[in-house]
């Protein structure tokens, strides 16, 4: 799945609402929209119509709680957050091609947590996060990405496994990255690049 493909579900999280045309088009063309309960108020106020609202409902307004009671899926599990609950809800509904928007841009701890959660979903679904600046894609096997010369690329390794890259400006060869910064600020040399690994890696690609 990539940003030009339709997802079976788009999840709107409670970060900064997107402004870039790509995530906005994902919302506009979505067949099914899930709002975390913290994101529902602003989405509805802007004229949006969610198909489901998921979370512990500690953030949704009382008006929207009553108005949209028929699509609210309450989960008060405090061991996980509303974004994780929303992804699991989509999977339970059989929707396994998922795009997350609004997952970044406000509190930094929420941003880091939401990005790291991408690594948890790979066993269940194909999930990517689309932001105002680019796309986060989790992988756990050797993968080739469509790209363009000069595209900025960063790798964030969750597991301490060897990583080899091909067609990036600063190549890695069987390198074990021990901190997130070590795989950042690389650059594509052409229309594809590849990442070879047996560990969980989150790959970020800019739009331009």
CATH number of the domain encompassing residue 189: 2.60.120.320
Average pLDDT in the chain: 92
Say what the pLDDT of residue 6 is. Answer: 62
Per DSSP, helices labelled H in 1-107 are: 21-28, 37-45, 62-67, 82-92
Output the six-digit token pair for 69: 């009671």
The CA dihedral of 160, 168, 149, 155, to the nearest 10 degrees, is: 10
Say what the pLDDT of residue 74 is. Answer: 87
In a domain? residue 167 = yes
Q: Is the pLDDT of residue 1 over 50?
A: no
Q: What is the dihedral of CA 161, 166, 167, 168, to 10 degrees?
A: 20
Say yes or no: 161 and 73 in one domain.
no
Q: Please report which confidence band the pLDDT of residue 162 belongs to, taking 50, 70 and 90 as the band edges.
A: very high
pLDDT of residue 78: 62
The CATH number of the domain holding residue 117 is 3.40.50.10240
Both 112 and 179 in one domain: the answer is no
- Above 90 in pLDDT, residue 57? no
Q: Are residues 147 and 115 in the same domain?
A: no
The owner of tokens 């994101």 is 39
93 and 150 part of one domain = no
Query: What is the percent of the chain with per-residue pLDDT over 70, rounded to a whole number?
Result: 96
Please state, in angstroms and rounded to a whole number, the distance separating the CA atoms of residues 36 and 73: 10
Are the C-beta atoms of 95 and 32 separated by less than 8 Å? Answer: yes
**Residue 52 half-sphere exposure, CB side, CA atoms within 13 Å?**
24
Q: Are residues 129 and 145 in the same domain?
A: no
Distance CA 83, CA 184 (A): 25
pLDDT digits (tens, 9 = 90+) for 58-85: 888 999 999 999 999 988 766 678 899 9
Residues 17 and 78 in one domain: yes
Give, as one character, the DSSP assignment of residue 180.
G
In this structure, are residues 84 and 92 in contact, taking their beta carbons and an 8 Å threshold?
A: no
Same domain, 13 and 116: yes
| Residue where a domain terminates, one of 99, 133, 167 | 133
Q: Report if residue 150 sits inside a domain.
A: yes
Cα 156–chain centre separation? 14
Distance CA 64, CA 41 (A): 7
Burial of 179 (0-12, 13-18, 19+ CB in 10 A): exposed
In this prediction, residue 197 has a pLDDT band, given cuts at 50, 70 and 90, of very high
Our CA dihedral for 28, 34, 38, 39, rounded to 10 degrees, sits at: 0
Determine, yes or no, domain membership for 44. Answer: yes
The secondary structure element, H or E, covering residue 148 is: none
148 and 97 inside one domain: no
The percent of residues above 90 in pLDDT, for the chain, comes to 83
- Say how many domains are in the chain: 2
Closest CA to 52 of 73, 27, 38, 67: 73
Q: Which of 133, 160, 179 is the last residue of a domain?
A: 133
pLDDT at residue number 4? 45
Domain C-terminal end among 110, 133, 156: 133
Q: Which domain holds residue 164?
A: 140-206
**Which pLDDT band holds residue 149 (cuts at 50, 70, 90)?**
very high
């Amino acid at each position: 799945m990539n940003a030009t493909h339709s997802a079976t579900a788009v999840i709107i999280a409670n970060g900064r609402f997107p402004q870039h045309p790509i995530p906005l088009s994902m919302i506009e063309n979505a067949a099914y929209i899930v709002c975390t309960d913290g994101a529902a108020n602003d989405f509805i106020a802007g004229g949006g119509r969610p198909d489901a609202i998921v979370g512990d409902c500690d953030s949704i307004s009382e008006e929207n709680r009553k108005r949209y009671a028929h699509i609210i899926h309450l989960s008060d599990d405090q061991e996980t957050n509303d974004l994780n609950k929303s992804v699991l809800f989509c999977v339970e509904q059989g929707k396994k091609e998922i795009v997350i928007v609004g997952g970044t841009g406000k509190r930094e701890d929420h941003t880091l947590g939401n990005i790291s959660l991408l690594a948890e979903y790979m066993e269940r679904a194909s999930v990517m996060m689309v932001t105002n600046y680019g796309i986060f894609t989790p992988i756990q096997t050797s993968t080739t990405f469509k790209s363009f010369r000069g595209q900025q690329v960063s790798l964030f390794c969750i597991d301490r496994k060897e990583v080899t890259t091909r067609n990036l400006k600063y190549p890695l060869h069987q390198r074990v990255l021990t901190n997130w910064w070590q795989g950042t600020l690389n650059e594509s040399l052409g229309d594809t690049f590849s990442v070879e690994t047996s560990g969980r890696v989150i790959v970020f690609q800019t739009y331009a």
